[in-house]
Amino acid sequence: MIICVDFDGTIVSSDREYTDVETPLEFLHGAKEGLQSLKAADHVIVIYSARANRALRIDPNLDPLVRAGLRRLDHEWWESNKDLNEARYQQMVEFCKTALDGIVDVVDDGQQGKPCAGLFIDDRAMRFRFGDWLRISRMYGEKHG
């Protein structure tokens, strides 16, 4: 099975400043062993992370929310942060090459969009089963009363 795994907060600790690309990344407890177990079971491991977001690294107009007018494009912010965002992406790629060599099959480069996969593992995910819209709307929908 193809398994997409998020990076920050799922494989490595996200307990660091966004701008910190110097401090070595640290595995979350059990992450490396868990990935090794999945790989040993012959699964294909894809790192699928927001760090690969090409709208942050290459062209802000790649963001569909910007194109739809739902997110304001701040060119000054983008210009001042694009190198940082590229450095964060490269930090992830290098970590996967060194600390996860032979375990990770591919690191998403942000070109494809959401990969076709049998499973997504992500610290920000919500499992959707059997028409869970009522539960989701109670948690995140409009509040009445």
Cα angle 133, 138, 142 (rounded to 5 degrees) comes to 105
Whether residue 78 is contained in a domain is answered as yes
Domain count, the chain: 1
Q: What is the pLDDT along the chain (145 residues), one digit of tens a residue?
A: 999 999 999 999 999 999 999 999 999 999 999 999 999 999 999 999 999 999 999 999 999 999 999 999 999 999 999 999 999 999 999 999 999 999 999 999 999 889 999 999 999 998 888 778 888 888 888 776 5
Domain that holds residue 74: 2-28+40-141
Give pLDDT, residue 145: 58
Cα angle 88, 4, 138 (rounded to 5 degrees) comes to 95
Whether residue 35 is contained in a domain is answered as no
Whether residue 33 is contained in a domain is answered as no
